[in-house]
A = this chain, B = another copy of it.
């Protein structure tokens, strides 16, 4: 623990035809950025992307964020529902083929306490190299709810993957690491 901590790189991808065309302002991406500013105690840098919905755009953006920008963690927002243009989960698995089903189960269970339509979300988490990729819903309130439901497990997950070390403020999130 005496070695200097490398700042984590956190990718934030807003998949939205309208936000990427400038028709309305992206509020979901900034909500994710604000969440990590509040919760993390270790240094990090954000890589923001606002892109159109769709399979290729989401897949290629995730690959670029992991392989070129060196992200340790990527959060997407948007594109997980039943509409024809909602292709974020498919694109995520194409870029990050190793799925962690527990994340989707947990986030849906948390959202279900608020709204019965949570079962429509196909959001998932998966691994590309040493990076964890997590699909979040579109609305800022649901984003916080989903992140709260999984965040205690994320620092240890990144450690096991060989990604950068992150720590959380225990006033918000009591992260769990098993004793060796």
Enumerate chain B residues within 8 angstroms of A156, measured Cβ to Cβ: 117, 120
Secondary structure of the A contact surface, majority rule: helix
Quick one: which of A82, A106, A112, A121 has the most chain B CB within 10 A? A82
Which size bracket describes the interface of A in this complex? 35 or more
Q: Cα distance A176–B112 when bound, in Å?
A: 12
- Least Cβ–Cβ distance between A33 and chain B, in angstroms: 23
Separation of A84 and B162 alpha carbons in the complex (Å): 9
Residues B84 and A117 in contact, CB atoms below 8 Å apart: no
By a CB distance below 8 angstroms, the chain B residues around A4 are none
State whether the Cβ of A160 lies closer than 8 Å to any Cβ in chain B.
yes
Q: Given contacts A84-B162, A157-B82, A162-B84, is CB(A119)–CB(B103) below 8 Å?
A: yes
Is B108's CB under 8 angstroms from A178's CB? Answer: no
| Segment at the B interface, from A10-18, A70-78, A94-102 | A94-102
For the complex formed, measure the closest distance between the CB of A149 and the CB atoms of chain B, giving whole angstroms. 9
A residues apposed to B, CB below 8 Å: 81-84, 90, 98-106, 108-109, 112, 115-122, 124, 127, 132, 150, 152-153, 156-157, 160-162, 176, 178
A-B contact pairs, 16 of them (CB 8 A): A81-B160, A82-B127, A82-B160, A84-B161, A101-B101, A101-B105, A101-B108, A102-B118, A103-B119, A106-B112, A106-B119, A116-B153, A117-B176, A117-B178, A118-B153, A119-B150
